[in-house]
Amino acid sequence: MAERGVAGYRARQIWSWVIDRRAERFETMTDLPRALREELDLTFEIFTTETITRSVDDDGTTKLLLSCRDGETIETVLMAEGSRRTVCVSTQVGCGMGCVFCASGLKGVVRNLTRGEILEQIVRQRNALREGERVSHVVVMGMGESLANLDELLAALEVVCAPAPLGLGLSQRRVTISTVGLPDKMRKLAELDRRYHLAVSLHAATESLRDRLVPISHKVGLGAVIDAADRYFEQTGRQVTFEYVLLGGVNDRGEDARALAELMSTRSAHVNLIPYNPVAGLEFERPSDAAVERFTAILKSRSVSVTVRKTKGRVIDAACGQLRRRTADAGSELFQGDPLGTARE
């Protein structure tokens, strides 16, 4: 605005139109002079991405596949549950952590997303809601390792949690950041005096099994991840959630449950069990219902706080990375059929 000799308050007007009033075109910003709106329309674009596909499941789960300006694609999912409207956002194109059962990282990480690309996922999902509906929660559990792009993520969340009309007005306590476990970044996050909820993708309670499932664990160690999670709880007072994807015949055995119960027994923590849904081309299988029930029972018998995540968005490839992967490889033999996924909430 300054470069164009326009009063600075116009920038705040434009920002509030986009963030608070769901504007997607400059022409709708009726309290700006017409000449300015026309100039803005010729010079700028509000969104940096384009929606390639919008898929809606019968359960209300909505997945967007977005194309960035450089041609890379990213995913965001909105999950509806009662009055809750939870948006799951991605922080990277692909992922470099290499978890062996995950679709997001099969081709590695391409780049970090900008703060604008992260924020835009939430704004786009919000704009598609009906009148009177609002985003109630944000989970940073989509494509990518959240803490590997911490600075851009935090900048986006500052807008998410700022009061209207210049922010989305979400409480920090309604934002969950998921990580595979980067201890240095976890400690940095703990020191920032924020109240975000932290979810650690654990997937195994022993060094040997976690090293197999989460290759980055070779470098950091299970103990260092647990210590950093303990530090986060001490610093923020926020209970840490440990996410555990149950893989049939791999980490869903009684001995695995007992090892996890032992690890959690002295901690104020919560375990979120996630029954795996197969990804085409990967060897892992969904656990049986009996295995899930047995695993849960063992944890509860040791007084561990535990829930089993509800499966949502199965027919729209809602698990992070699946729709992007299937779209990018359309026509290859590997992707005949429709891989089913579990939305990460």
Active-site positions read 75, 320
- Can you read off the two tokens belonging to residue 132? 């009177």
CB 226 within 8 A of CB 262: no
- Can you read off the two tokens belonging to residue 106? 């099969």
Number of neighbouring beta carbons within 10 Å of residue 333: 7
Q: Which amino acid is at 282?
A: L
DSSP code for 206: S
CA distance 21 to 96: 36
DSSP code for 173: G
Q: What are the phi and psi torsion angles at 269 (to 5°)?
A: -140, 165
Q: What are the phi and psi torsion angles at 238 (to 5°)?
A: -95, 125
CA distance 119 to 318: 19
Does residue 22 come out as left (phi exceeding 0), alpha (psi in the -120 to 50 range) or beta?
A: left
Provide the CB-side half-sphere exposure for 299 (13 A, CA). 26
Number of neighbouring beta carbons within 10 Å of residue 273: 21
Strands 92-94 and 109-112: antiparallel
CA distance 292 to 290: 5
